[in-house]
């Protein structure tokens, strides 16, 4: 990637600037550079090069000092991030520690972040489902949030575009609620997952168990080989960084692809302070950056700016980008910037056992599982809560080792593993309703070490979320019972929002500039050369994992931005 020479304004001027190098930022960079634009990618964290900076990727369990666990001191120093399932000894270097970038919790919120080139694309769970019109039409149907300015037909070709490049495993299921995509061969459900699916299909007309759709290469295509990526080895060590490029990340895919064009300049350790707005020109002209280590201020300039800093940091940057024209944040004529933040509700789980299939067990690993698409309030409002939920489904069989005895008898017992019953579990992923009372703002007194106001987060569950948890537990318990699952247990973790790591909104899309920030092209209504294509742009959350939609938005918006630039409209 190009080296930087920042001695003159000319050398700090590009055709486009992308803020953030994660999933959406990587896609923005790829699409911009492919179209010939000299593009600067700004990343506040360190550089992480694919297959160079994955220090734990091939380590064996016994090579970790604490066998993969955190020390008590690390847990004490990191009460927030240590709650994340992937923050363990093998991947903790890819997470922001609690003291490194503090924020203000007006209400409890566990903000999980990854500040490095590639961002959280090194750490994500890689589940990738398309949205349908049931999702895009949700706000218009029930009147909560504001209507989406697009529908499925607008984004469908862009889903195909990114799926082919990223590599998505899945099955053609033919479900209206979950459109099919451009799939590589699917992974396989376990026998007990298939059994649960068959019983659900037998007892319910509108409920289905399918294999998950995930960003894993199960059969490399020429486009993946050109990227230097190989088939997923199903090691299930993805959070360490994959040396095979078997799953999609910015590091293994979009950023190296962008670099090959010769049009990419990558600037790590660049903390974005704000976007520069020119009152005379009536547009944004650049980005003010603070060097993460030296604290030196530098300005970069471009015709087009894509903000892909991850949802809450994108809100922070726009809120901090003030001028005479925009005293309350860039593009914030509507006053909704930072408001209507939403997320996914992962609080509930249901599990049990199945006493059958004793002739089968699981072998090897599988970085995917079963998936139950949304079935509540799809065609009509049928419950006392709005929207719905999807669910994961996992069935596996473990063994028990007898540790009784001493000496020779203990040794003999250790070699006698006994298989137990099949264990079946499910977790919910519920849609939360964007509300004005769920917001982020700049704290008026506290600043971070770069002199930028800390982000104040005021986000919470509500009665709609609680009712959804209750319904999920009831419905999943009923489905498990009909499938012959026994010893069924349910749990509501009551966890604070944030651990879903699916925060969205604050810079939402909409048709009306009076109630939204972005138009149908993810373009600021009031500042036409600034685009937001990460989670901040989401008008509602639906029940699907959101990253695939961010990718599609990014590619679609770049296509529009470049065409507008050619017409000299930006």
Average pLDDT, the chain: 96
pLDDT of residue 402: 81
Residues 6+ apart with CB under 8 A from 205: none
What is d(CA 550, CA 129) in angstroms, rounded to the nearest whole number?
11
Q: Give the mean pLDDT of 319-336.
A: 98
pLDDT score at 414: 81
Percent over 70 (pLDDT), the chain: 99
User: Does position 450 have pLDDT exceeding 60, yes or no?
Assistant: yes
Give helix then strand counts, H and E, for the chain: 12, 21
Q: How many CB atoms lie within 10 A of CB 301?
A: 18
- Average pLDDT of span 45-60: 97
Residue 373's pLDDT is 98
Q: pLDDT tens digits for 260-307?
A: 999 999 999 999 999 999 999 999 999 999 999 999 999 999 999 999
pLDDT per residue over 76-111, tens digit each?
Answer: 999 999 999 999 999 999 999 999 999 999 999 999
Torsion of CA 564, 568, 569, 570, to 10 degrees: 80
Give backbone dihedrals phi and psi of 543, rounded to 5 degrees, phi first. Answer: -115, -5
In 385-452, which residue ranges form alpha helices assigned H by DSSP?
407-414
Coil/strand/helix, residue 314: helix
Tracing tokens 């939402």 back to the chain, one arrives at: 508
* % the chain with pLDDT above 90: 93
Residues found in the chain:
570
Task: Round the CA-based radius of gyration of the chain to a whole number and report it.
Answer: 24
Q: What is the pLDDT of residues 221-258, one digit of tens each?
A: 999 999 999 999 999 999 999 999 999 999 999 999 99
**Range with lowest mean pLDDT among 63-77, 134-148, 405-419, 536-550:** 405-419
545 phi, psi to nearest 5 deg? -60, 135
Angle between the N-to-C axes of helices 23-34 and 547-566, in degrees from 0 to 180, rounded to the nearest 10? 30
pLDDT at residue 407, rounded to an integer: 87
Q: 33 near 263, Cβ under 8 Å? A: yes
Average pLDDT of span 153-178? 98
Candidate from 398-407, 444-453, 462-471 with smallest mean pLDDT:
398-407
pLDDT for 253 equals 98
The structure tokens listed for 195 are: 């059994």
The rounded distance, in Å, linking the Cα atoms of 483 and 32 is 50
Evaluate if residue 139 carries a pLDDT over 50. yes
Q: Residue 14, SS3?
A: strand
Q: What pLDDT is stored for residue 6 in this prediction?
A: 56
pLDDT at 4: 52
Report the sign of the C-alpha dihedral through residues 80, 429, 27, 55, in that order.
positive
Mean pLDDT lowest among 141-145, 249-253, 506-510: 141-145
What element of type H or E holds 189?
A: none
Q: Is the model's pLDDT at 174 over the cut of 80? A: yes
Q: Averaged over 308-317, what is the pLDDT?
A: 98
2 has pLDDT over 80: no
Query: How far is Cα 388 from Cα 411, in angstroms, rounded to an integer?
Result: 52
| pLDDT score of 3 | 47
Q: Specify the range with the lowest mean pLDDT, choosing from 326-330, 408-412, 478-482.
A: 408-412
CA 48/CA 271 separation, integer angstroms = 16
For residue 145, what pLDDT is reported?
84
Three-class SS of residue 415?
coil
What's the pLDDT score for residue 435?
A: 96
Q: Please determine, for residue 309, whether its predicted confidence score (pLDDT) is greater than 80.
A: yes
Mean pLDDT of 208-226: 98
Q: Give the per-residue pLDDT at 85.
A: 95
d(CA 230, CA 365): 17
Tokens, residue 393: 């489904």
**Average of pLDDT values for 11-16?**
97
């Amino acid at each position: 990637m190009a080296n930087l020479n920042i001695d003159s304004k000319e050398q700090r001027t590009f055709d486009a600037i992308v803020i953030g190098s994660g999933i959406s930022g990587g896609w923005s960079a790829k699409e911009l550079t492919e179209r010939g634009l000299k593009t600067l990618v700004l990343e506040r964290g360190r550089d992480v090069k694919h297959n160079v900076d994955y220090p734990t990727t091939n380590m064996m369990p016994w090579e970790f000092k604490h066998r993969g666990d955190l020390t008590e001191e690390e847990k004490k120093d990191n009460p927030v991030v240590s709650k994340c399932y992937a923050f363990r000894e093998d991947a903790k270097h890819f997470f922001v520690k609690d003291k490194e970038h503090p924020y203000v919790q007006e209400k409890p919120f566990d903000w999980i972040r990854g500040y490095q080139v590639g961002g959280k694309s090194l750490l994500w769970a890689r589940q990738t489902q398309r949205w349908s019109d049931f999702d895009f039409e949700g706000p218009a149907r029930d009147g909560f949030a504001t209507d989406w300015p697009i529908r499925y037909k607008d984004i469908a070709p862009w889903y195909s575009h990114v799926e082919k490049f990223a590599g998505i495993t899945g099955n053609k299921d033919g479900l209206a609620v979950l459109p099919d995509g451009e799939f590589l061969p699917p992974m396989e459900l376990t026998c007990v997952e298939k059994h649960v699916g068959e019983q659900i299909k037998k007892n319910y007309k509108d409920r289905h168990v399918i294999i998950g759709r995930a960003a894993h290469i199960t059969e490399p295509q020429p486009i993946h080989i050109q990227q230097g990526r190989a088939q997923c080895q199903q090691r299930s060590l993805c959070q360490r960084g994959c040396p095979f490029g078997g799953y999609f990340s910015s590091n293994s895919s979009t950023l190296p692809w962008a670099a090959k064009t010769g049009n990419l300049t990558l600037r790590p350790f660049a903390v974005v302070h704000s976007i520069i707005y020119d009152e005379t020109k009536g547009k944004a002209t650049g980005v003010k950056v603070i060097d993460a280590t030296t604290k030196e201020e530098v300005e970069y300039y471009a015709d087009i700016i894509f903000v892909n800093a991850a949802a809450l940091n994108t809100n922070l940057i726009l809120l901090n980008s003030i001028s005479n024209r925009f005293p309350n944040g860039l593009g914030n004529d509507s006053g909704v910037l930072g408001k209507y933040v939403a997320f996914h509700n992962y609080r509930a789980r249901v599990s049990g056992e199945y006493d059958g299939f004793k002739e089968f067990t699981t072998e090897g690993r599988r970085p995917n599982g079963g998936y139950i698409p949304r079935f509540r309030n799809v065609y009509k409002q049928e419950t006392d809560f709005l929207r719905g939920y999807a669910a994961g489904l996992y069935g596996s069989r473990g063994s028990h080792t007898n540790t009784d005895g001493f000496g020779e008898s203990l040794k003999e017992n250790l070699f006698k593993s006994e298989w137990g019953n099949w264990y079946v579990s499910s977790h919910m992923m519920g849609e939360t309703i964007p509300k004005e009372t769920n917001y982020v703002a700049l704290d008026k007194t506290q600043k971070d070490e770069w002199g930028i106001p800390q982000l104040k987060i005021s986000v919470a569950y509500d009665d709609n979320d609680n009712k959804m948890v209750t319904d999920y537990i009831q419905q999943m318990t009923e489905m498990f019972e009909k499938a012959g699952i026994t010893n069924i247990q349910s749990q509501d973790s009551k966890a604070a929002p944030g651990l879903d790591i699916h925060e969205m909104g604050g810079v939402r899309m909409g048709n009306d500039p009076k109630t939204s920030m972005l138009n149908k092209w993810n373009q600021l209504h009031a500042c036409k050369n600034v685009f937001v294509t990460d989670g901040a742009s989401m008008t509602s959350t639906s029940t699907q994992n959101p990253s695939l939609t961010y990718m599609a938005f990014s590619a679609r918006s770049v296509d529009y931005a470049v065409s507008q630039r050619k017409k000299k409209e930006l």
